[in-house]
Structure 1
Amino acid sequence: MLEWLVQAESALANSSDRLNAINIFPVPDGDTGTNLYTTVAAARSGLNVDDPAVRTVGDALAHAGRAALDQARGNSGTLMAVALTGLSEPMRESPRLTAPLLAQGLDRARTAAWSALSDPQEGTLLSVLTRCADEAREFLDSLDDQSSDHLNSRRVLAQCCEHLVVTARTAVVATENELAALTQAKVVDAGAIGLLLVLDALRSAVTGRPCEEGLLEGLHGTDIQAPHLHSHLPDHEGHEVMCSMVLSPLDAATLRFGLDEIGDSVIMSPISTDADTEGRVRWRIHAHVPNVETALELVRRAGQPENLDVTDLSAGGHPHATTHSHRDS
C-alpha cells in the first residue's frame, strides 16, 4: 500500500501541470492536478507502517484514506480521497491485497464516490471508477472455474491490475464525448486522468515494473505544447468551501440540503464511521457557492468547522487564493 501511494504521488507530481492546464470542469480554475497531488501526498504521509494499529492492508488504506479526506483539496481531490476510503472497506481483515478484494473494494469505492456528490456527472473521474469496478468484476467472473488459491494469487492480482489500466485509459478517452464542456474544448477530463495515473501506480506496485511512460500519449489536451485552456475561459464567480466537521446524521443531512440549495459541486462524505457517544461522526465537506458568507453561516450553524479553507474560484487560474480571514483551526 505504501509503495502504491509513493508511486501515485510521484506520478501526479510529474503530471500536475498538464492536468491543471486542461482543468475546465466543474470550473476552469486550473488546479485539478495540484489538488490530486496534494490529496494523494496526504494519503501517503498519513500511512505509518510502524503504527501497531495498522495490521492489515485494509487498515493501511483506511488510515491513508482518512488522512487524505481530512486534507482533501478540490472536487477531484475530495472524490479521490472518498474512493480510497471506500476501497479499504472489504480489506479490513486481510493481510494482503488480492484480486477479489480489489474488485470488492472498487465496487465500494464507486458507491461511496457517486453517493458523496450531490450531482454526479458522467465524463469525470466517476465514469472511470465505474468502468474499472465493472471490469474487475467481469475479469473475476471469467475465472470462476479456478480455485480460490489461484484467484488469490499475486499473478491474478497483477493480471487484474493490467486489465484495469487498459480499461481506465479507454474510459478516459471516452470522457471527451460524455461531457459537453470537454467535447467543446476537445480535451479529456483532468480528474479522470488522475485516477488513471493512480491505477497505473497500483499496477506498478503489484508487478514491480515501472509506471508506463507513454500512458498519457495521445490523450487530447495532454501534449506538452497544448494550451492552458482555463486561461482563455471566463472567470467563474464564486468560492470553493472545504472543511471537516463532526456531525450527527440529521445535521449532516440538513447541511447537505442547505448547501445544495445555495451552491453546486457539493460533496459530503464521512471520514470515519466510528461514532461518538452522541452518534456523531467526522465528515469532509466541499462545495462551490456564489456567496461565501451564506455558506459559512450554514456550516457554522451545523457545528464547528476544522481545516476550513475558502478559495476564490475567479482567481484567474491561480489555485487556492485562500481568503485567510475565513481559515479556522
Structure 2
Amino acid sequence: MRRWLARSEETLGNHSDRLNAINIFPVADGDTGTNLYLTVRAANRAAQECQSSDLGVLLSVAAQAAMEEARGNSGTLLAVLLAAMAEPLQGANRLSAPLLASALRRAQIRSWSALSDPIQGTMLSVLESAAEGAATVDDALSGDDSNRALAMALDGAVEAALAAVVKTEYQLSELERAQVVDAGGVGLLLVLDSLRAVILHQDLQEDLLDGLAGYDVHKPHIHEEMPVVDGVEVMCTINLSPLDAASLRMKLDELGNSVIMSPMVQLEAPDFYRWRVHVHADAPEQTLSAIRALGEPSNVTVSDLRAATHDHPDS
C-alpha cells in the first residue's frame, strides 16, 4: 500500500500537465492533474509515516491526510475513495482478490453518495466499472484468495476502468464537443494501474493511454478555449452530526453546485463526525455563512474559478 501511494504520486506528477490540459468538466479550469497529484501526495506522506501493518489502518491514516488537504472535485473524490477502500481492509495485512473487490465496491458506493448530483462520464463511472471488473473476476474464481487470483482481479479492474474512460467522451456533451475523455477518469485509471504495477512488480502499462481522445502530448490545453468560469470553489472541514450535515448539504445545493460532503472520522462526541465539504458557488460570503451557521469550519479555502481561467482570450 505504501509503494502504491508512492507510485501514484510519481505517476500523477508525471501526467499532471496532460490531465490539466483536458480538464473541462465540471469546470474548465485546467487543474485536475494538479489537484489529484497534491491530494495523493498528502496521502503518501501520511502513509510513509504510519507504522501499522494493518491495511485498513494504513489507508485510513492516508485517507484522512488526503481529505484534509484534498484539492478540487477530483482530489476530494480520490480521498473519499481511499477512505472507503480502508473499511473492508480493517484487520487485514495482505490484499486478496475478494478484499480488492470489496474495497472497490465500497469506494464506489461512498463516492456516489458523497456527491449531491453524481454524473456518469466522470471518475464515478470509471470507479464503478473498475469495481465491477474486479468483482466479475472474484465471482468467477469463487473467492480465491491466492496471489494469482489477485493478479487477475487487478487486471480485470484496470481493463474495465480503461474501457470506462474511453466511454466518457460520449457520456458528457461537454467532453464530446471538445473531443476529450474525462481528466479525472484518466487520473483514476493511472492510480489503479499503479496499484496493479506495484503488486505484480511490474511497470505501468506503456500503451495504457494510447489513443485516448485529447491525450496526445501534441494537443493544446483544450480547457483554454472554454468559456471563462465565474464563481468560487469553497472547501473546508467541519464537525457536524449527520442531521446537520444533511441540512448543510441541502443549503449548499441551493447556493451552488458540485457539492461533495463526506464523513472523515467519527468523533468522541456522540453522533458527531468530521466532514470534508466542497462546493462551487457564486456567493462566497453567503456560502460560508451557511456553513458557519452549523459549526466552525477549519482548513477553509476559497478559490476564484475565474482566476483559474485568467489566461483565456476573452478574460
Tell me if both proteins adopt one fold, taking TM over 0.5 as the criterion. yes
Runs of 4+ off more than 4 Å = none
- Pick from 165, 171, 174: which aligns with 1:178? 171
Counterpart amino acid of residue 177 in structure 1: Y
Counterpart for residue 36 of structure 1: 36
- Pick from 77, 88, 104: which aligns with 2:75? 77
Equivalent residue runs for 1:86-101 within 5 Å:
86-101=84-99
After superposition, the Cα gap between the structure-2 partners of 1:93 and 1:245, relative to the gap in structure 1 and judged at 3 Å, is: same
Counterpart for residue 264 of structure 2: 271
Q: Give, in whole Å, the separation in 2 of the partners of 1:58 and 1:228.
A: 38
Counterpart amino acid of residue 115 in structure 1: S
Would you say the 8 A contact 2:229–2:309 is kept in 1? no
The Cα RMSD (Å) is 1.3
Counterpart amino acid of residue 106 in structure 2: R
Shift of 1:229: 1.3
Task: Note the alpha carbon deviations across 1:171-214, whole angstroms, 9 max, x for none.
Answer: 10000011110011110000000000000000011100111223
Q: Does residue 233 of the first structure (1) align with residue 226 of the second (2)?
A: yes
Counterpart secondary structure, 1:195: helix
Q: Does residue 193 of the first structure (1) align with residue 178 of the second (2)?
A: no
Q: Give, in whole Å, the separation in 2 of the partners of 1:12 and 1:59.
A: 24
Aligned length in residues: 311
- Pick from 62, 65, 68: which aligns with 2:63? 65
Identity across matched positions, percent: 50
Q: Give, in whole Å, the separation in 2 of the partners of 1:194 and 1:208.
A: 21
After superposition, the Cα gap between the structure-2 partners of 1:176 and 1:275, relative to the gap in structure 1 and judged at 3 Å, is: same
Q: Give, in whole Å, the separation in 2 of the partners of 1:293 and 1:45.
A: 33
Shift of 1:250: 1.9
Would you say the 8 A contact 2:36–2:78 is kept in 1? yes
Would you say the 8 A contact 1:231–1:316 is kept in 2? no
- Pick from 104, 127, 133: which aligns with 1:129? 127
Counterpart secondary structure, 1:79: helix
Equivalent residue runs for 1:198-277 within 5 Å:
198-272=191-265, 274-277=266-269
Shift of 1:294: 0.7
Task: Note the alpha carbon deviations across 1:5-62, whole angstroms, 9 max, x for none.
Answer: 01111110000000001100001011000000011111101114553xx241111111
Please, which runs of 5 or more residues in structure 2 have no aligned partner?
A: none
Q: Give, in whole Å, the separation in 1 of the partners of 2:190 and 2:154.
A: 12
Q: Does residue 14 of the first structure (1) align with residue 14 of the second (2)?
A: yes
Would you say the 8 A contact 2:132–2:157 is kept in 1? no
Shift of 1:77: 0.7
Counterpart for residue 327 of structure 1: none
Counterpart for residue 309 of structure 2: 317
Counterpart secondary structure, 2:73: helix
Counterpart amino acid of residue 26 in structure 1: P
Task: Note the alpha carbon deviations across 1:257-283, whole angstroms, 9 max, x for none.
Answer: 1100110000000011x2322421100
Q: Give, in whole Å, the separation in 2 of the partners of 1:242 and 1:95.
A: 34
Would you say the 8 A contact 1:49–1:60 is kept in 2? no
Would you say the 8 A contact 1:29–1:318 is kept in 2? no
- Pick from 267, 283, 296: which aligns with 1:291? 283
Counterpart for residue 323 of structure 1: none
Would you say the 8 A contact 1:57–1:91 is kept in 2? yes
Would you say the 8 A contact 1:240–1:287 is kept in 2? yes
Task: Note the alpha carbon deviations across 1:226-278, whole angstroms, 9 max, x for none.
Answer: 11111111111100000111111222111111100110000000011x23224
Please, which runs of 5 or more residues in structure 1 have no aligned partner?
A: 320-329
Q: Give, in whole Å, the separation in 2 of the partners of 1:213 and 1:138.
A: 25
Q: Give, in whole Å, the separation in 1 of the partners of 2:38 and 2:32.
A: 10
